[in-house]
Amino acid sequence: MGEVIVTMEVGSDGVALITISNPPVNALAVPILAGLKEKFAEAVRRDDVKAIVLTGKNGRFSGGFDINVFQKVHKTGDISVLPDVSVALVTNTLEDCKKPIVAAVQGLALGGGLEVAMGCHARVAAPKTQLGLPELSLGVMPGFGGTQRLPRLLGLSKAIDMMLTSKPILSEEGLKLGLIDAIVPPQDLLKVSRQWALDIAEARKPWVRSLHRTDKIGSLSEAREIIKNARQLVKRTAPNMPQHQACLDVIEEGIVHGGYAGVLKEVKAFNQLVVSDTSKGLVHIFFAQRTISKVPKVTDVGLKPRAVKKVAVIGGGLMGSGIATALILGNINVVLKEVNSEYLQKGIKTIEGNVRGLVARKRLGQAQAEKALSMVKGVLDYSEFRDVDMVIEAVIENVPLKQKIFSEIEKVCPPHCILATNTSTIDLNLVGEKIKSQDRVVGAHFFSPAHVMPLLEIVRTEKTSAQVILDLMTVGKKIKKSPVVVGNCTGFAVNRTFFPYTQGAHILLHLGVDLFRIDRLISSFGLPMGPFQLQDLAGYGVAVAVGKEFANAFPDRTFRSPIVDLLIKSGRNGKNNGKGYYLYEKGSKPKPDPQVFPIIEEAKRQVNIMPGGKPISITDKEIVEMILFPVVNEACRVIEEGVVVRASDLDVASVLGMSFPSYRGGIVFWGDLVGAKHIYESLKKWSEKYSNFYKPSRFLEERARNGVPLSAPLSTSASSRSRM
């Protein structure tokens, strides 16, 4: 890594060039902010300096404030480590400087980087520079005056949209909207910026302090209307996230009471948000996603990934065609194999539909789509397999069938070929039991729909080679997935951790709690849908098959409800045939179906666990806890057995694979926020009162008793027993 430093060179033209250097993105670390203050003070003092240009080294302006500082605040709760940037640096030092400052912006100016640039008196940019304020995605808001200056430079509507969505724009759009004053080729950037700064000094160009501008804000009543509409949108789209409303409050303050009042309120609001649970959760996930790529004895032993240019996918059903789509979009050639031409045509058509769907939603250009579709070839035999680098088997969950396929592909594929299965529950040792090359067997568990969902669970057995794992991790990144390496057990990490989710919902149903109330509360908690609607969506065949797997693996903590069998008997199959717990009609939202109530009554009659035959009385909070605490409990077992490398990997997997709300930091992080002691005591009480299903795990009990966070690393003796 290069040096973390701010440099200043004064040219013969009288312009001081101040450069930020902190590779790779010139983050505004605390020493950089101190260096900026020092260099600007020097430039102002010196008589040979007429004007100043601020830029970043190596073609990047700045990626923003160093968020490692947030982690420090979250660990200690001490906000005094946050430097005073907004008032002391951006407003007093830059904007109110006695000499003009031009920001020469290239590559990216994000977050604090853009806020510093907006404090300058003009902005000259290279083409295709990214400009944005993504702070809300970390649970905070722009804290260096961005909530005040962006609306004054861009106009209120667009500025609010950029902040609420955290999406950047390019300098070309910035120029049209007034955020950028000129776009010039990279090689001319410094020359033009220097001249621009001199032109301001000599009154040939305007000296603009953005905080004092009001021409783009519109009238007070127009501004209030725009903010009111934004508030209503946020209420619907981000109900559990305080940073959105707080950001709008601060923007409004500046419009009503002036920019400087807005800056002062912004500092206060930022300091409150940075210690909120939402910010803790989002910052945790941000760092956790960067840690999944570190796998002991795989990524730290000097291995280099091999090129995977051609992959065979066996099975063109929903999963197989989704996996094939993800691969061709990542520029990897695919051979899709099916058992007959009817199934093969159907698989190819699904892939075409997936790709065309992305074009229709403007996520993919027409030319890219054509190129992707030219990379897939359908086959009915193994003749094309002789030069593939990897095979992914994606057929139905049937052990003898999978074993037969693995024996066949071992014979026809080259000796370096990775042999992967997309099974979601079957033990990998069984799948590869009959073949010699067990070091090449690995699980590549995609989540449905495979070309959309971002998680790839890489499942290793005790025999899988480190090279195979590294190669699959590299393929995962190439096709824009987040690969999490996990150990081999029933359900692996994600499905196993979440198997109590539906079971807990079934228990509550049998205790007399309304299923639609349960779904409503879980949706309000932040999951995309409740457990019953999820069961409808997945189809009851899946529920029955998966239920059997888990009942066999964990008989001591499985609750068997007859509800799904009764629904199937009454001709329901969830969304597949339009009738489940809900009714599904094309073009309208799922509607609760009151006709399921008699079926539920029958289920409760067959398995009667209601104390004294009466429905239990329960609060909303307890319902959420009775569904999610058993999930945290199973996560504890997954951690203790070493199925995941570290607890934060399970947090990432829960967010990306099960859509657990990222602002709650993932399932283990959320468990720690709630507190192991409370979870342990609640589960113990319910296990005595209702069912063994709730029995706390040994790991949870130990952590609760000793006051140790669930996410704290395992002791060395425990990790030596691990499946990793």
Q: Confirm if 372 and 354 have CB atoms less than 8 A apart.
A: no
- Which one-letter amino acid corresponds to residue 651? D
Q: Are 337 and 312 in contact (CB under 8 A)?
A: yes
Q: How many CB atoms lie within 10 A of CB 49?
A: 18
Burial of 367 (0-12, 13-18, 19+ CB in 10 A): exposed
Q: Is residue 617 within 8 Å of 580, Cβ to Cβ?
A: no
Beta partners for 7? 19
Interatomic CA distance for residues 387 and 312, integer angstroms? 10
Cis geometry, peptide bond prior to residue 449 (ω within 30 degrees of 0): yes
The closest of 674, 637, 666, 664 to 649, measured between CA atoms, is 666
Verify cis geometry, omega within 30 degrees of 0, for the bond prior to 24: yes
SS3 644: strand
User: What b-and-e string marks burial along 676-686, b requiring 16 or more CB atoms within 10 Å of the CB?
Assistant: beebbebbbeb
**Do 243 and 140 meet the contact criterion of CB atoms below 8 Å apart?**
yes
Please indicate whether residue 135 is annotated as part of the active site: yes
The pair of structure tokens assigned to 156 is 């209120």
- How many Cα neighbours within 13 Å face the side chain of 579? 9
Strand partners, 333: 310
CA distance 208 to 655: 44
Q: Which residue type is seen at 489?
A: C
In which element (H, E) is residue 56 found?
strand 51-56
Which of 500, 473, 494, 482 has its CA nearest to residue 425?
494
Token digits of residue 506: 């079934």
- Catalytic choice (3, 42, 95, 115): 115
- Dihedral sign for Cα 187, 190, 193, 194, please: negative
Task: Classify residue 613 by its DSSP letter.
Answer: G
List all residues 6 or more positions away from 213 whose beta carbon is below 8 Å from its beta carbon. Answer: 152, 153
Catalytic residue among 3, 9, 95, 135: 135
DSSP-derived 3-state class of residue 73? helix
Q: What is the DSSP letter of 576?
A: G
Look up residue 587 and give its two tokens. Answer: 């073009």
How far apart are the C-alpha atoms of 609 and 604, rounded to whole Å?
8
Token digits of residue 181: 């004053």
Assess contact for 337 and 313: CB atoms under 8 A: yes
Q: Could you tell me the CA-to-CA distances from 662 to 240, 278, 526, 656, 674 in Å, in that order?
A: 11, 9, 9, 9, 16
* C-alpha–C-alpha distance, residues 256 and 219, integer Å: 10
Answer yes or no: 115 catalytic: yes
Tokens 């069938």 — which residue? 401
Q: What are phi and psi of 443, to 5 degrees?
A: -95, 135
Where in the sequence numbering do the catalytic residues fall?
A: 115, 135
